[in-house]
Amino acid sequence: MIKSLRKSVFYIFFFLSKAAFSQTVGGNAAYNFLKLPASPLVAAAGGANISYQGSEVSLTANNPALLSAGMSSQLNVSFNAFLAGIKTYSLTGAYHVDNLQTTFGGHVYFVDYGNLPATDAAGNITGEFRPVEFVVQVSAARKYLERWTYGGMLKFINSSYQQYKSNAIAIDIGLVYFDSAKKLTLAFTAKNMGFQLQTFAGEREDLPFDLQFGITKKLSKAPLGFSLTAQQLHRFNLLYNDTAFNNENRFGKASPIHQFFNHFVLATHLYLGQNIEASLGYNHLRRQELSVQNAGNGLAGFSVGLHIKFSKLQILYARSTYQRGIGYNQIGITAQLNKLVGLGN
């Protein structure tokens, strides 16, 4: 059994190492909407979190290994009024099958960019078009021994920009270790490993591959928890070098210290009783990417959120600041369908 497990681990890491070198990140990848947090709980935790055990189904869109039997019959609907009139919609559900000892999940994420002016080569407005993108995900997770959960996710990705259309298929894999005695969660995910089925204009593009590791620790003698998520572990420098700019006055450059901290997203969770949780997150990469030269960044990179639990419903809220004085709200409602309308188990 040990030899078989070692062989499986070897093949997984061999496949991941090849994926890490064949997928591109930064400004060179297609379908970058996949990086947006579909869950308000993830948005509140800084925009990236794979280890937070919130017993709420929208978290599983970010890590399939977070699926659990306790989420069975949950259905989440989330909405975000994003920048420049962009709107995002998310639908996530889960169902546990006892005979298979497996929890299955489904997720749809839709991005509507609104009506934009269509122009010809000379810049003359010829009408309007409405670009949209979406991803459909199916996932499954099982427990291994007492503390481990492993999961996988299959994605169909679609983008439509007027006459330019593209779609792709990808998989995510996840692993979670949870020690209930120590109130400690460790998690690992490899995201967006796949390829395009249809290209935009004949040239094949990469997907936004990501390797992430996360840890969440809840204190035993205080109503506090802390999360640390490391992203883009397969490369050190996360800045995209746009050759259209010449980087004068060191704009666009970062010190090794900044490059190191660009990988980390931090979050603090405050538990106000059994049914209310508040979160504060900080994303250093977001703060650096959207900084304004020779101006203060204010609260850029910070996010806050609230999670309120009722017996049949959960209410989720997050506010994320992307630039100085510019923040966006994300809300969600999670229904326990077996209690609310008698559906599921």
Q: Please write the tens of the pLDDT for every residue from 295-326.
A: 667 788 999 999 999 999 999 999 999 877 78
The answer to whether residue 131 scores a pLDDT higher than 70 is yes
Q: Where are the domains positioned within the chain? A: 2-340
Q: Determine the pLDDT at residue 20.
A: 44
DSSP 313: E
C-alpha separations of 321 from 54, 134, 286, 298 in Å? 23, 24, 9, 9
Following CA atoms 109, 88, 80, 295 in sequence, which dihedral angle do they give, to the nearest 10 degrees?
120
Q: Nearest Cα to 100, choosing from 147, 141, 137? A: 141
C-alpha–C-alpha distance, residues 36 and 173, integer Å: 18
Query: Topology of domain 2-340, per CATH?
Result: Porin (2.40.160)
The answer to whether residue 341 scores a pLDDT higher than 90 is no
Q: Determine the pLDDT at residue 254.
A: 66
C-alpha–C-alpha distance, residues 25 and 23, integer Å: 7
Q: Nearest Cα to 113, choosing from 83, 92, 135? A: 83
C-alpha–C-alpha distance, residues 199 and 88, integer Å: 23
Q: Are 175 and 150 in contact (CB under 8 A)?
A: yes
Average pLDDT taken over every residue of the chain: 87
Sign (positive/negative) of CA torsion 276, 34, 169, 193? negative
Q: Which pLDDT tens digit goes with each residue over 135-159? A: 999 999 999 999 999 999 999 999 9
| Beta strand segments in 36-73, E | none
| Tally of CB atoms within 10 A around 62 | 29
Do β-strands 302-309 and 276-283 pair in parallel, antiparallel, or remain unpaired? antiparallel
| Cα Rg of the chain, angstroms | 21
C-alpha–C-alpha distance, residues 78 and 332, integer Å: 4
| Tally of CB atoms within 10 A around 95 | 22
Q: Determine the pLDDT at residue 16.
A: 46
Q: Does the predicted TM-score (pTM) go above 0.85?
A: yes
Q: Determine the pLDDT at residue 8.
A: 45
Q: Determine the pLDDT at residue 298.
A: 79
For the segment 101-127, the average pLDDT, to the nearest whole number, is 92
The answer to whether residue 200 scores a pLDDT higher than 60 is yes
- Alpha-helical (H) ranges within the chain are 2-22, 40-44, 256-261, 284-289, 337-340
Listing DSSP states for 319-338 in one string gives: EEEEETTEEEEEEEEEEEHH
Which residues, 6+ apart, have CB-to-CB distance to 252 below 8 Å? 239, 241, 242, 245
Q: Percentage of the chain with pLDDT > 90?
A: 65
C-alpha separations of 242 from 28, 64, 230, 307 in Å? 10, 34, 24, 39
Q: Which residues pair with 174 in a beta bridge?
A: 151, 189
Q: Which pLDDT tens digit goes with each residue over 57-85? A: 999 999 999 999 999 999 999 999 888 88
The answer to whether residue 258 scores a pLDDT higher than 80 is no
